[in-house]
Amino acid sequence: MWLASLYLLLCTSWLSRAQESSTAVSNRVAEATYLFSVDLFKAALKADAGNVVISPVSVSTLLALVQQGSGGNTATQLEEVLHLDPEQSRDGYSHLTRNLKVLAGNESLEFANGAFLNEGYQVKSGFRKVLEEDFLSSVETVQFSNSAAAAGEINSWVSNHTHGKIPNLVSPDSLDSLTRLVLVNAIYFKNFWKTSFLKNETRDDDFFIRPNTSKKVPTMHLKKKLLTGSLESLNSRWLQLPFQGNRFYLLIILPNEKDGVENLVNSITGPEISDLIENLEDRGYSPEVQLSLPKFKLQTTLELGPALKKIGLTDIFTDRANLTGISEEPVAVSQVIQKAEIEVDEDGATAAAATAIIIKTLSAILPPPPLVFRVDHPFIAFIVDDLNKLPLFACRVTDPTAS
């Protein structure tokens, strides 16, 4: 059986429907995103022992879009992995697409969807309507037979929406005459700390990459009242570091043991993160904290196909894929790639990510202050949108000086 090629690209730098309130839609999608995010994060980390940064919401957005064109067991698997049925994901990600955009003052969050169709290729009218009206996707026509030119157009779109942070996501080798469609999602975040670290306070401190092995890394220092608490079930502590405007914050989860990050990753669950973020103020307290945090810049390229298969999404990568709601031609996903970057310094944080899904034809008690929160060994962190109670980026830092 001849299969057409579909290439879906995610790049990471809700209006509710009639009878349901936007709050209910938002809450449901946030809960589902926690579950998916932790599932994907844990699966991706098992394939890489070093520094990793990922934007699960970028991946889930495109999977939600693919879900709208799926059927049979493929639709069942997508529903199980996304923790949303097709209508719920359409409503929820439609809301997210409209809501995840802030360009005001020092805050910057950009979230965009795009579709690149092969010249002469037609998607079904219902799927195109979902593309344009629910996911607010721009639609452009390219010639995938000229793979260099097509890759250039896609990469230009990606670079523009990630403010130059992800300039080259798609290689010409990943596109060919069988490629029919590239779906793109881009997310870019930049913001400044509510209270900046003083640059003259930054100095080289020890960071324990292993319990008995340390290296000197540039470490920032801040003394301020900050929300913090413990996660006894994970043998860890957490701290919230807010950005200007109070909508976004960095959530640091630090294992109590210097070699505890692997156990932390293995033990953490979506409901646990959801409960923490939903009830952060109730679960923490705000003493004066002496914070020591290493500067870091992480860049990661991940092939996410194996991770998605581990969490139950298998059919879309085979000739069993049922994506007949997209087009008449049988198609399957051949590759899922994400490029992501995050940089944390004295001023604030910048993050962007890009993911490509290539679908081809088949052939608590208050202790006395001050509290010392010294991030001097491997940890995980999330950039969280407090308005939507949504983790935008997740990272594991094992060595702050290694990109």
Written in H, E and C, the secondary structure of 200-245 is HHCEEEEEEEECCEEEEEEEEEEEEECCEEEEHHHCEEEEEEEECC
| Model pLDDT, residue 5 | 42
Q: Contact, 228 vs 289, CB < 8 A?
A: yes
pLDDT given at position 20: 52
Q: Which residue has the tokens 């701290």?
A: 239
Could you tell me the domains of the chain?
A: 6-192+297-361 (3.30.497.10), 199-295+365-397 (2.30.39.10)
What tokens does 280 get? 């952060």
| β-pair type (107-118, 138-142) | parallel
Question: In this predicted structure, what is the pLDDT of residue 224?
Answer: 94
Pairing of strands 181-192, 348-361: antiparallel
| pLDDT per residue as tens digits for the range 33-59 | 999 999 999 999 987 778 999 999 999
Residues in the chain: 403
Structure confidence at residue 353 (pLDDT): 82
Q: Which of 35, 19, 112, 101 is nearest to 388 (CA)?
A: 101
Task: Give the pLDDT of residue 403.
Answer: 66
Model pLDDT, residue 368: 53
From residue 286, alpha-carbon distances to 232, 241, 371 in Å are: 18, 11, 10
Alpha-carbon distance of 69 to 331, in angstroms, equals 11
Which residue is it, tokens 């991706």?
44
What pLDDT does residue 360 have? 58
Strand 213-225 relative to strand 288-294: parallel, antiparallel, unpaired?
Answer: antiparallel
Work out the number of other CB atoms within 10 angstroms of the CB of residue 100.
Answer: 22
Q: Which residue ranges of the chain lie beneath pLDDT 70?
A: 1-22, 102-107, 355-369, 403
Triad 243, 217, 393: Cα angle to 5°: 35
CA distance 24 to 16: 9
**What would the pLDDT profile of 137-188 be if each residue is shown by its tens digit?**
999 999 999 999 999 999 999 999 999 999 998 899 989 988 888 888 889 9
CB 114 within 8 A of CB 170: no
Considering only CA atoms, give the Rg of the chain: 21
User: What is the C-alpha separation between 71 and 324, in angstroms, rounded?
Assistant: 7
Helix (H) or strand (E) holding 319: none
Give this prediction's pTM. 0.90
